[in-house]
């Protein structure tokens, strides 16, 4: 009987102890963790502003679009240390790139990351009300248009969504026709134009002028010349922008966000960066990559000798064009004159892209090649004038208006009037020539050639193929048959 | 039920009624005449008994004449003696070579080794004593079948990764480590404080549910023994360490000649027009490596009274690095206490505490641009203090000695950990145990980056000094309560029930900050409090974590006549790491055993002493990742507005609402055999493990979801399945030839075949990098081993232009081939060589791992040797900087210089070639056999020690890592960072050191 009682006692003890120890599943709910997550955000004006900063952040990753836009074109060779230094770039330079290209994959990923960050704001745009919200929404829509414009430029038809993408969209959402992508870009920019001012609340944020310029560019890329002239004219006449009188000063770090900058991507040398996350850098990564290999001497800092100008583009400059020595650094002559030394990389031409090579005088925060603070002058007023000129000419709207805008750019370039008086197709060629030399090194050349049907001027270019870049193979695979590859890739 | 109970009670009364009591006493000795303290004397069929004292003596009163007493001690064959009026007994116990009565910890309980039905490896204190590992994990290497221990580094204080039966997961493959009942880590435990390791390798570990899939290492620390006088052990050793290898590299003249040749090949001017005065130049490796000391002291006191036991241990270890000993060193101190009290006959209390302190300084290692990498690539023509100011060697290679001189860091960490355990035996066979194990580890580190210039463009240049300080606290507890009830029904049906619950919590936080403009650019002033410079960028960071498990478990163990064994277990786990609607799961397993040797037809066999067939099957979990189901606002959102950095908010990693744990399905069939008087022990196992719902980190998903954003990242998705199958064989032979001579030989081998059997959506997960700017080289892909190397396959060297012309064009790789270039295989047969021709060219995980241990004792000498081997694995040679002017391996002396000169090493040229693309030219067989430990000891004879009043005095000499047989060219064929995808890539591993040790063991 004693045993029996013991057993009861034992069982009682067991139940008691187990019950004490067993915390139940509530125990799992009490975790000490950060509770705010993506779905519980947007509770104040500050939240919207902070998310907008996040949406701007991806602009910095467009260093890749800029450097590749040049490398892909007939302006530069890929360069670098050796033929296998960044293979993905080398292939694009030689127009032998395939859907397997990690850099095109990066470009796709980063631009869609930008789209998602803007869509994050726009998805929650009605959650909390405050004064001045239309500014933030306007900027978010400008940025979405900016990212989608890059995507449609590079890849043509792309999946389109106005809220964040979800898992499964890749197998269900189609690649939208180019016209639909542009329709959203136009709608976003129109909203931005109507809600933003010519002066932004902070330097670096998009303005009404930024939106007008980008809309004009989007029209031009679609050959909507009349619409382009309207919006660009409005910008030229009403906007606060003008040409900087001395071309030589435009690209220096002490002349950022100048009167010619209609939109400028902001960079800084204040934060370190590493190769493992180039899109995380606050610096302009392209500048270090463009830089002079193993340079010692005045004015410049060294870099990786990518994106080196070809003799052909150097020869494109007319005699007396003051822009040549600003845009192109003749390293042989410079080294001789300044007692500087340098190394020779792959495809060494003797020239460097002087607008965007590393300069001395910044903080050299490590890795100093990735943290150059040079802002990227994304849309310059000169670009706006040349776009307007092109639209007037190619749209057969007014060659005299076209000449006026073109010659305004040329007058600065030569230090005095150096007018083009031709018209029609000759004027078209003159404007194209002017775009090339005015904007060399700024990432526009490849797309200017392609959109005007002149892609074949690039070595290795295959018509009906290389006008757009291949959708990254991984994306085709993710889509599980939903997306087809671009023609001939 | 009631009737049965009364019958049982009645039986007890009957047993008591026949008592005719006498008092007995005696002495228990081993074969050599030494007393055995702590031996158990138990009156059969009762719960009465006693244990022997320090001198092996015992007394036992009230013994019935004619009953049997059973005398037992771990490691000895139990002896039954019938009491027939012999009041004074002299009992001799024989050593049990089979150790079948050895008790094995199997999780929430123990089992006799002979009754174990799972696959368990046991490593005991004797092995630890032989190996004297610096980190306890090292004791598992080569000593237990199915277990491999790898390290990414031979640097002092480097960490070790334990793998049980291969790599199943692309994420965390480390086993659960349970120390005296609580979840802990091996690195904080002094190896000398460990009594045994039990490694649970199969479904038996399902009692650990969601934490058991990678296997479980159960550590039992040393305790005192009851009724024994204080025993003092002092162990000390000191030694010298040196590098195990220096790589054959070009000397200055050879280097200059090859450089000249490579420039000439491309039609460029010679960099060294006159090589006559260069000589051999600087041997950077020998400048880097030095001899460095290691010392260890270990003291323990153990003993016990009638109702209590105690163990005190203290140890100090100091190890300097074989590279830059003042910048690369480690020291550790441990203090341990373990106490046991019988509070009453039924209530036992055990408590232990372990204090751990470690301090470490490190130099960069195993990455591009670290000192060893630089030592291999820096030009031998440069003098010791010469910087590469001209950038001749590219931006990423600098003087390694200067680099070390500018390296400043320190790390220190302290932990306190321990347990409190109460064990209450309510009545015979029914025990309730409740214990709580705690661990708190705090560490801090400081890194100083001085202003330094190595020459234009060097990526190591630093214009602004900074000091970064970090503090972490890590806490955890494991609170288990469980009851076991053991009952023998009808003499044959032996059943043990276990029922319990467990709560675990792991939590902690981090705080890190950076100060700029360190005064005097000096380490002495390197502290945030003195560094007053500010940065525009945010220079502080923090994080917190909290992870909890709430669990219930139950187990039934049953045997019929101790011959047919069965067990079944279930565990229900809830994990806070997953979404609230998706955090509960059940894990099950069953095991069975059949002691064939107990059957009549084998019972009297002279050859087969023991034969058991066993099998286990079940499911276990791997709890990896937390908060995977939601997007925290942890993304990077920094932009520049008004000329200054502005930090906003963005989503972090793309969430996966359905994320859950990984599930392993394990099958094991094993045989335990003892032959020839138990001299030969054989354990063989066949196993298959399917790891389902693999949590694949950075699972490739479409970029449209925004995972490429700064600070974001790809989701972790349950998206793969792997299968590992293999065989394990363990052989152990012991023979005492005479009283003066005995020897033992132990061998184990494991064959593992691993394969990825499914990845959802046909995705391929990539990782691991090679050289600079090349695509990832390791993959997880269906039908291939996890993390296999994906690259171009080579087929010799083009000897002439005709061969080039006859071969598919290689220009798709970037450059057309010339004679002397590597000929790649057109794997996909499309008539051109492109990156699409990449294929499987190796893997980091070995096909076979094996260990061999030989020992003998002759009179007062003892000798032991431990070897370890891994066969059928590859390592990627990635310590060669892809730059035309860097130094290189002597291998390149045998390069192609014209038709017929070489068919394996390509020509030297600074021109563009595709020879630097990742191919099997860079993948080397890294199979190896390593003599880990050879030891010779001498103990003073008993006659002498008795006179001195001590029980043991032994001196020994030992060589660790005496030699390694391998074809691998790099420093250490065994080294890997342990990543499932991206492991086995060698940037110049910090070599493991060869150690010459002199040591002393003293026991009083």
The pLDDT confidence band at residue B86, using thresholds 50, 70 and 90, is low
The pLDDT confidence band at residue B677, using thresholds 50, 70 and 90, is confident
The alpha-helical segments, DSSP class H, found in B380-480 are: 400-405
Task: Provide the shortest C-alpha distance from residue B880 to chain A (in Å).
Answer: 15
Whole-number Cα distances in Å, A266 to A76, A361, B547, B588: 24, 17, 40, 58
Question: Rounded CA gap, A309 and A324, in Å?
Answer: 12
* pLDDT for B64: 77
pLDDT (tens digit per residue) in B482-527: 999 998 888 889 999 999 999 999 999 999 999 999 999 999 999 9
Question: Rounded CA gap, B730 and B748, in Å?
Answer: 4
Q: Which of B642, B706, B775 sits opposite A202 (nearest CB)?
A: B642
* pLDDT for B13: 45
A49 touches B: beta carbon within 8 Å: yes
- Please give the ipTM for the structure prediction: 0.94
Cα dihedral sign for B859, B861, B866, B867?
A: negative
Residues of A in contact with B648 (CB under 8 A): 49-54, 56-57
Backbone angle region of B677, left / alpha / beta, with phi > 0 → left and psi within -120 to 50 → alpha:
left
Q: Helix axis angle, A381-394 relative to A399-414, nearest 10°?
A: 150
Question: Which tokens in the block code for residue B361?
Answer: 């300084």
Task: Provide the shortest C-alpha distance from residue B637 to chain A (in Å).
Answer: 4
Question: Which tokens in the block code for residue A429?
Answer: 């060629």
Residues of B in contact with A162 (CB under 8 A): none
A106 touches B: beta carbon within 8 Å: yes
Best probe of the B interface among A19, A82, A175, A181, by most B CBs < 10 A, is A82
- DSSP code of residue B730: E
Side by side, the strands of the sheet bearing B40-43 are: B49-51, B40-43, B68-72, B79-82
Contact A25 B584 (CB under 8 A): yes
In the predicted structure, residue B16 carries a pLDDT above the cut 50: no
* pLDDT for B98: 54
Q: Work out the percent of chain B whose per-residue pLDDT is above 90.
A: 45
At residue B400, the 3 state secondary structure works out as helix
Question: Rounded CA gap, B134 and B154, in Å?
Answer: 11
Which is it for strands B985-986 and A158-159: parallel, antiparallel or unpaired? unpaired
- Quick one: average pLDDT of B406-429? 92
Contact A113 B584 (CB under 8 A): no
A112 touches B: beta carbon within 8 Å: yes
- Quick one: average pLDDT of B906-910? 89
Residues of B in contact with A105 (CB under 8 A): 703
In the predicted structure, residue B119 carries a pLDDT above the cut 90: no
* Residue B423 β-bridge partners: B348, B433
With 0-12 / 13-18 / 19 or more C-beta atoms within 10 angstroms meaning exposed / middle / buried, residue A129 is exposed
The A residues from 411 to 450 touching B (CB cutoff 8 Å) are none
Contact B430 A86 (CB under 8 A): no
Closest-approach residue (CA) in chain B for A86: B773
The pLDDT confidence band at residue B79, using thresholds 50, 70 and 90, is confident
Q: Which of A31, A115, A166 sits opposite B576 (nearest CB)?
A: A31
Residues of A in contact with B536 (CB under 8 A): 268, 270-271
A254 touches B: beta carbon within 8 Å: no
Q: Which of A18, A38, A51 sits opposite B648 (nearest CB)?
A: A51
Contact A280 B535 (CB under 8 A): no
Question: Rounded CA gap, B66 and A466, in Å?
Answer: 101
- DSSP code of residue B533: B
The pLDDT confidence band at residue B10, using thresholds 50, 70 and 90, is very low
Contact B912 A480 (CB under 8 A): no
- Quick one: average pLDDT of B556-567? 90
pTM for this prediction: 0.81
Task: Provide the shortest C-alpha distance from residue A408 to chain B (in Å).
Answer: 30
| C-beta separation of A115 from A163 below 8 A | no
A37 touches B: beta carbon within 8 Å: yes
Residue partners of A237: CB distance under 8 A and separation at least 6: none
- What phi, psi does A5 have (nearest 5°)? -65, -40
Q: Which of A10, A57, A108 sits opposite B650 (nearest CB)?
A: A57
A5 touches B: beta carbon within 8 Å: no
The answer to whether the bond into B889 is cis (omega within 30° of 0) is no
At residue B142, the 3 state secondary structure works out as coil
Q: Which of B8, B434, B646 sits opposite A53 (nearest CB)?
A: B646
* pLDDT for B32: 64
Contact B703 A59 (CB under 8 A): no
- DSSP code of residue B523: G
Closest-approach residue (CA) in chain B for A483: B702
Residues of A in contact with B636 (CB under 8 A): 57, 280
Q: Which of A25, A271, A479 sits opposite B638 (nearest CB)?
A: A271
If you average pLDDT over every residue of chain B, what do you get?
A: 88
Residues of A in contact with B575 (CB under 8 A): 28
Question: Which tokens in the block code for residue A112?
Answer: 């869609």
Closest-approach residue (CA) in chain B for A102: B775
A274 touches B: beta carbon within 8 Å: no
Closest-approach residue (CA) in chain A for B435: A21
Residues of B in contact with A480 (CB under 8 A): 761
If you average pLDDT over every residue of chain A, what do you get?
A: 93
Render each residue's pLDDT in chain A as its tens digit; 489 residues: 555 666 676 666 666 666 666 566 777 777 777 778 888 999 999 999 999 999 999 999 999 999 999 999 999 999 998 877 888 999 999 999 999 899 999 999 999 999 999 999 999 999 999 999 999 999 999 999 999 999 999 999 999 999 999 989 999 999 999 999 999 999 999 999 999 999 999 999 999 999 999 999 999 999 999 999 999 999 999 999 999 999 999 999 999 999 999 999 999 998 888 888 999 999 999 999 999 988 888 999 989 999 999 999 999 999 999 999 999 999 999 999 999 888 888 999 999 999 999 999 888 887 889 999 999 999 999 999 999 999 999 999 999 999 999 999 999 999 999 999 999 999 999 999 999 999 999 999 999 999 999 999 999 999 999 999 999 999 998 898 999 999 999
Q: Which of B424, B459, B633 sits opposite A36 (nearest CB)?
A: B633
Question: Rounded CA gap, B966 and B642, in Å?
Answer: 60
Best probe of the B interface among A4, A15, A18, by most B CBs < 10 A, is A18
How many beta-carbon pairs under 8 angstroms link A with B?
341
Question: Rounded CA gap, B69 and B45, in Å?
Answer: 9
Task: Provide the shortest C-alpha distance from residue A414 to chain B (in Å).
Answer: 32
Task: Provide the shortest C-alpha distance from residue A467 to chain B (in Å).
Answer: 20
- DSSP code of residue A54: H
Contact B536 A271 (CB under 8 A): yes
Location of structure tokens 């990389």? A345
| C-beta separation of B435 from B480 below 8 A | yes
The pLDDT confidence band at residue B852, using thresholds 50, 70 and 90, is very high
pLDDT (tens digit per residue) in A132-159: 999 999 999 999 999 999 999 999 999 9
A339 touches B: beta carbon within 8 Å: no
Closest-approach residue (CA) in chain A for B816: A83
Contact A81 B462 (CB under 8 A): no
């Amino acid at each position: 009987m004693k045993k029996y009682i013991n057993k009861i006692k034992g069982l009682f003890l067991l139940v008691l102890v187990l019950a004490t120890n067993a915390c139940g599943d509530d125990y799992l709910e009490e975790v000490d963790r950060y509770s705010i997550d993506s779905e519980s955000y947007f509770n104040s004006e500050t939240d919207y502003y902070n998310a907008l900063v996040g949406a701007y952040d991806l602009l910095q990753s467009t260093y890749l679009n800029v450097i590749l836009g040049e490398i892909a074109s007939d302006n530069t060779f890929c360069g670098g240390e050796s033929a296998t230094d960044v293979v993905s770039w080398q292939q694009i330079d030689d127009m032998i790139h395939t859907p397997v290209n990690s850099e095109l994959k990066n470009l796709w990923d980063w631009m869609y990351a930008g789209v998602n960050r803007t869509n994050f704001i726009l998805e929650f745009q009605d959650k909390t009300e405050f004064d001045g919200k239309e500014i933030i929404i306007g900027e978010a829509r400008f940025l979405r248009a900016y990212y989608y414009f890059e995507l449609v430029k590079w890849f043509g038809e792309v999946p389109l969504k106005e809220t964040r993408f979800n898992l499964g969209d890749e197998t269900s959402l189609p690649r939208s026709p180019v016209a639909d992508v542009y329709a959203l870009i136009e709608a976003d920019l129109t909203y931005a134009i109507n809600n933003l001012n010519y002066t932004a609340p902070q330097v670096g944020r998009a303005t009404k002028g930024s939106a007008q310029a980008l809309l004009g560019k989007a029209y031009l890329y679609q050959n909507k010349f009349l619409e382009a002239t309207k919006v660009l004219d409005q910008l030229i006449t009403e906007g606060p922008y003008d040409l900087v009188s001395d071309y030589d000063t435009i690209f220096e770090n002490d002349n950022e966000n100048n009167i010619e900058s209609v939109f400028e991507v902001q960079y800084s040398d204040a934060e370190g960066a590493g190769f493992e996350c180039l899109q995380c850098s606050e610096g302009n990564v392209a500048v270090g990559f463009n830089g002079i290999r193993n340079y010692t001497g005045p004015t410049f800092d060294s870099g990786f000798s990518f994106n080196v100008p070809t003799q052909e583009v150097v020869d494109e400059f007319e005699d007396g064009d003051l822009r040549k020595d600003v845009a192109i650094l003749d390293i042989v002559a410079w080294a001789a004159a300044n007692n500087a030394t340098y190394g020779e990389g792959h495809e060494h031409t003797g020239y460097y892209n002087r607008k965007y090579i590393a300069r001395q005088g910044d903080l050299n925060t490590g890795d100093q090649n990735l943290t150059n603070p040079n802002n990227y002058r994304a849309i310059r007023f000169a670009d706006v004038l040349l776009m307007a000129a092109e639209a007037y000419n190619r749209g057969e709207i007014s060659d005299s208006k076209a000449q006026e805008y073109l010659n305004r750019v040329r007058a600065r370039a030569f230090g005095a009037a150096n007018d083009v008086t031709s018209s029609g197709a000759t004027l078209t060629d003159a404007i194209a020539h002017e775009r090339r030399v005015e904007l060399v090194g700024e990432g526009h050349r490849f797309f200017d050639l392609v959109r005007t049907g002149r892609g074949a001027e690039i070595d290795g270019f295959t018509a009906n193929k290389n006008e757009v870049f291949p959708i990254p193979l991984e994306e085709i695979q993710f889509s599980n048959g939903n997306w087809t590859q671009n023609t001939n890739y | 039920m009631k009737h049965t109970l009364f019958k049982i009670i009645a039986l007890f009364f009957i047993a008591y009624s026949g008592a005719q009591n006498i008092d007995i006493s005696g002495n228990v000795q081993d074969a050599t005449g030494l007393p055995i303290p702590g031996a158990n004397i138990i009156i059969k069929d009762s719960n009465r008994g006693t244990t022997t004292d320090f001198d092996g003596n015992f007394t036992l009163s009230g013994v019935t004449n004619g009953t049997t007493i059973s005398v037992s001690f771990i490691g000895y064959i139990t002896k039954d003696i019938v009491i027939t009026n012999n009041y004074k007994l002299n009992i001799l116990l024989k050593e049990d070579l089979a150790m079948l009565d050895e008790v094995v910890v199997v999780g929430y309980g123990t089992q006799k080794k002979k009754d174990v039905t799972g696959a368990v490896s046991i490593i005991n204190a004797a092995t630890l004593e032989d190996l004297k590992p610096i980190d306890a994990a090292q004791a598992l290497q080569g000593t237990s079948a199915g277990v491999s221990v790898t390290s990414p580094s031979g640097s002092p204080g480097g960490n070790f990764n334990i793998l049980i039966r291969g790599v199943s997961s692309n994420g965390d493959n480390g086993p659960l480590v349970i120390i005296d009942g609580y979840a802990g880590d091996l690195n904080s435990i002094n190896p000398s404080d460990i009594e045994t390791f039990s490694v649970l390798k199969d479904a038996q570990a399902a009692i650990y549910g969601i934490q058991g899939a990678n296997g479980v290492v159960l550590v039992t620390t040393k305790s005192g023994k009851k009724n024994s006088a204080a025993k003092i052990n002092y162990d000390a050793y000191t030694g010298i360490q040196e590098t195990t290898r220096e790589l054959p590299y070009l000397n200055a003249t050879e280097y200059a000649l090859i450089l000249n040749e490579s420039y000439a090949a491309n039609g460029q001017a010679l960099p060294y027009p006159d090589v006559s005065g260069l000589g051999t130049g600087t041997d950077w490796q020998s400048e880097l490596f030095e001899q460095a000391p290691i010392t260890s002291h270990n003291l323990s006191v153990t003993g016990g009274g009638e109702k209590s036991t105690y163990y005190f241990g203290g140890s100090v270890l100091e190890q300097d690095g074989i590279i830059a000993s003042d910048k690369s060193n480690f020291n550790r101190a441990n203090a341990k206490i373990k106490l046991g009290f019988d509070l009453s006959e039924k209530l036992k209390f055990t408590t232990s505490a372990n204090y751990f302190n470690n301090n470490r300084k490190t130099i960069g290692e195993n990455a591009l641009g670290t000192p060893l990498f630089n030592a291999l690539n820096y030009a031998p023509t440069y003098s010791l203090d010469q910087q590469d100011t001209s950038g001749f060697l590219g931006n990423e290679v600098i003087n390694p000695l200067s680099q070390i001189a500018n390296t400043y860091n320190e790390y220190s960490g302290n932990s306190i950990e321990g347990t409190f355990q109460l064990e209450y035996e309510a009545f015979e066979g029914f025990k309730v145990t409740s214990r709580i194990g705690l661990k708190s580890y705090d560490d801090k580190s400081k890194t100083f980056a001085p202003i330094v210039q190595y020459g234009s463009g060097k990526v190591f240049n630093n214009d602004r000094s900074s000091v970064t300080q970090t503090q972490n606290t890590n806490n955890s507890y494991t609170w288990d309560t469980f009851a076991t009830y053991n009952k023998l029904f009808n003499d044959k049906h032996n059943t043990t029930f276990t029922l319990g619950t467990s709560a675990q919590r792991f939590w902690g936080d981090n705080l890190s900050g950076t100060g700029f403009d360190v005064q005097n650019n000096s380490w002495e002033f390197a502290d945030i409090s003195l560094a007053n410079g500010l940065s525009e960028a945010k220079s502080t960071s923090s994080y917190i974590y909290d992870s909890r498990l709430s669990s219930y478990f139950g187990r039934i163990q049953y045997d019929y006549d101790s011959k047919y064994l069965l067990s079944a277990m279930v565990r229900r786990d809830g994990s806070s790491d997953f979404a609230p609607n998706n955090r509960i799961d059940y894990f099950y397993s069953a095991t069975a055993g059949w002691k064939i040797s107990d059957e009549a037809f084998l019972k009297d066999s002279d050859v087969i002493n023991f034969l058991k067939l066993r099998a286990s099957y079940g499911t276990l979990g791997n709890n990896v990742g937390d908060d995977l189901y939601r997007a925290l606002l942890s993304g990077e959102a920094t932009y520049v507005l008004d000329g200054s950095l502005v930090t906003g908010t963005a989503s972090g990693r793309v969430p996966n609402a359905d994320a859950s744990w990984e599930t392993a399905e394990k099958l094991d069939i094993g045989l335990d055999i003892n032959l020839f008087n138990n001299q030969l022990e054989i354990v063989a196992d066949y196993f298959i493990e399917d790891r389902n719902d693999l949590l694949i980190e950075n699972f490739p998903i479409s970029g449209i979801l925004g995972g490429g954003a700064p600070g974001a990242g790809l989701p972790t998705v349950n998206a793969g399945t792997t299968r590992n199958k293999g065989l394990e064989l363990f052989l152990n032979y012991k023979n005492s030839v005479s009283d003066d001579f005995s020897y033992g030989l132990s061998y184990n081998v494991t064959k593992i075949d691993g394969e990825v059997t499914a990845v959802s959506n046909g995705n391929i997960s990539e990782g691991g990098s090679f050289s600079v700017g090349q695509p990832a080289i390791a993959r997880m892909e269906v039908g291939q081993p996890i993390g296999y190397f994906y690259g171009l396959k080579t087929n010799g060297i083009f000897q002439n232009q005709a061969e080039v012309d006859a071969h598919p064009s290689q220009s798709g790789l970037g450059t057309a081939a010339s004679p002397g270039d590597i000929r790649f295989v057109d794997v996909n047969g499309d008539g051109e060589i492109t990156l699409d021709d990449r294929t499987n060219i190796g893997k980091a995980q070995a096909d076979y791992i094996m260990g061999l241990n030989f020992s003998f004792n002759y009179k007062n000498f003892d000798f032991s040797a431990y070897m370890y081997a891994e066969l059928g694995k590859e390592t990627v040679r990635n310590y060669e900087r892809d730059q035309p002017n860097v130094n290189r391996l002597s291998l390149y002396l045998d390069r192609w210089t014209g038709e017929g000169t070489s068919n394996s090493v390509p020509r030297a040229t600074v021109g563009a070639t595709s020879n630097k693309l990742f191919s099997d030219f860079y993948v080397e067989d890294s199979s190896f056999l390593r003599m880990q430990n050879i030891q010779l000891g001498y103990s003073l004879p008993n006659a002498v020690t008795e006179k001195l009043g001590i029980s043991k005095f032994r001196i020994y000499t030992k060589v660790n890592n005496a030699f390694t047989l391998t074809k691998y060219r790099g420093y250490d064929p065994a080294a890997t960072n342990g990543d499932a995808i991206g492991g086995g890539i060698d940037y110049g591993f910090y070599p493991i050191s060869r150690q010459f040790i002199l040591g002393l063991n003293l026991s009083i």
